[in-house]
Copies of this chain bind each other. A is one copy, B any other.
Amino acid sequence: MAVLLLIKRSVRKIEQVEPQAGLLNDSSSDANPSLAEAVEPHSQVAVFDGSQPLAMTAGVSLSPFTIAYQTYGVLNADKSNAILLCHALTGDQHVANSHPLTGKPGWWSALVGPGRPFDTDKYFIICSNVLGGCMGTTGPASINPATGAPYGLDLPMVTIADMVRAQAMLIDRLGIDTLFCVAGGSMGGMQVLQWAALYPERVFSAMPIATAARHSSQNIAFHEVGRQAIMADPDWRGGRYLSEGVRPAKGLGVARMAAHITYLSDEALQRKFGRKLQNRAEPTFSFDADFQVENYLRHQGSTFVDRFDANSYLYVTRACDYFDLAGDYGGSLARAFLGAKSRFCVVSFTSDWLYTTVESRAIVHALNAGGAPVSFVEIATDKGHDAFLLDEPDFIATTRGFLRGAARARGLSETGDAKP
């Protein structure tokens, strides 16, 4: 049975622990900062050599490969307090620490930290960069051992299932059998669903947030626009730009601009920017960024280029497009969750038009059909898809409440230790 949690706006405001840094730090002036992180990340790494190849959906094996990850908090004695957080499309493992390239706070600082819902005083939090990413986990900017040059498009296509199988190998390496919780939003939520389907016995609780069990036609269409923008840039060089010392910055910037619109609601854009002009009283009647929203989008595009690799963008968008969990189970989403033993909390946001509440309800119905215990919360907000990254009181309260209940059920004490 789906249970609709009604949350009151009574939660205290979460303060940002880390100071808001400038948009770019010094390393952004580096010609290839994302290549540097891809090869020598500011993270722990787990290397899987020839003895542990990854069997990929595309029918090939990847070996060797590397997973870059961050951890926060302490794993308890019986390893029952581990939480895996899965990042979204252009996120990374730096969920709760300053980003090594931008200096900005971790992407989920609002939810992860001491006293926050994902309480680092209580839980052992793991976040790894996805396969195909560019922050140290093997991706197209990583060095292909066969050639000594970056993989580029020679990296096999990565799927959400590949990302999750690689994460499971990391969890094995960390000696953890069952994760107390797997949580994530957007593409992170797809990974959560894939975890529940592939490893039901290893997931005690699961939070798929602002996500969908399959990429819709419109979702694919927006991603394809981004990919074509990158590939249209002559500096993309058929994907070999890193070897040739250039970067398709303009194409990647346009891709990010197009995508960014889908992360915000019409209402949020109207409220934040409306038709306000940028530092001028009258329109210039030119192609300058007269409107604040133009200036904002251009800024989003240009700063993204400093922290992300264009080929990685191709790979991660493609992974989402191929995601169709029901398709992997004979067209039945309920069948994907047939053996699900986890407790679920599915969260959607009213103004999210990228992964709408309709998509979340489909997940809830399939979980119901599979007999899994599931709560469903639709958070009222005008902030659009990006609401899952923001300090939304109802969302934070929901997460806190769900995790507290799961911790009780798991027999975890207030300090995160297993009760005797």
Contact = CB atoms under 8 A, between A and B. Distances in A.
A353 B267 CA distance: 12
B228 A157 contact: no
B324 A294 contact: no
Contacts of A159: 285
A9 interface: no
A164 interface: no
Contacts of A234: 234
Given A57-B285, A287-B227, A298-B228, A293 B221 contact: yes
Contact of A293 (B224, B232, B273, B274): B224
A319 B229 CA distance: 24
Residue among A59, A153, A159, A321 facing the most chain B CB atoms (10 A cut-off): A321
A275 B218 contact: no
A297 B261 contact: no
Contacts of A227: 287
A286 interface: yes
B224 A322 contact: no
A217 interface: yes
A353 B322 CA distance: 26
B285 A218 contact: no
A122 interface: no
A58 interface: yes
Which label, helix, strand, loop or mixed, suits the secondary structure of the A interface? helix
A231 B232 CA distance: 12
Contacts of A233: 232
Nearest to A235: B234
Q: What number of copies of this chain does the assembly contain? A: 2
The contact size tier of chain A is 35 or more
Interface in A306-341: 314, 318, 321-322, 324, 327
Interface string A216-245: 111011101101110111100000000000
Contacts of A318: 287
Contacts of A215: 275
Interface stretch (A81-89, A196-204, A249-257): A249-257
Given A225-B258, A261-B222, A217 B253 contact: no
A221 B294 contact: yes
A157 B275 contact: no
A272 interface: yes
Given A225-B297, A322-B283, A273 B217 contact: yes
Contact of A261 (B225, B251, B273, B274): B225
A291 interface: yes
